[in-house]
Amino acid sequence: MTDKIPDFSDVERQHAASLLEQRYGRTVAMELADSELQLESGAPLTWCPTLYWAERGAHFVVCKVAGDRYRCQFFYSGAEQFGTNRNEYDDLGECVLALLRVQSDHERARARAFPGATAEDLDKEDTTGPSII
């Protein structure tokens, strides 16, 4: 049986909040949540403490998978989920910063694909244009 993963400490939450404030220039609402993750291939699902926030059309999660290990991803919808190409981090700050950088790069790439579009525009599905099958 696996030991329960400790919740995010006040220090960890404050550190993440500080990084978000630096990134966005203001306080960002961050929520505590739980995620069910498969921590190892073939292992049962494990409840993991999670930090969640939404900003600029994207949703972010940082999951604590052990006392000092973290996983992260951001998503726009169930079909559009992205990670950092690194499975785990042993430093919360490094994890949050990597996630913010990857999402920022992705946001810029989306804007180049649709010049003049805002983050809100990019989140809307275009149902009027031609479809390619």
How many residues are recorded in the chain?
Answer: 133
**pLDDT score for 109:** 85
User: The pTM is what?
Assistant: 0.81
114-115-119-120 Cα dihedral, nearest 10 degrees: -80
Between CA 28 and CA 46 the distance in angstroms is 28
Tens digits of residue pLDDT in 84-98: 989 999 999 999 999
Question: Reduced to 3 DSSP states, what percent helix, strand and coil does the chain have, rounded to the nearest 5?
Answer: 30, 30, 40
**pLDDT score for 121:** 58
Tens digits of residue pLDDT in 52-80: 999 989 999 999 999 999 999 999 988 89
> Taking the CA atoms of the chain, what radius of gyration do you get in angstroms?
16
User: How high does pLDDT run on average in the chain?
Assistant: 86
**pLDDT score for 116:** 64
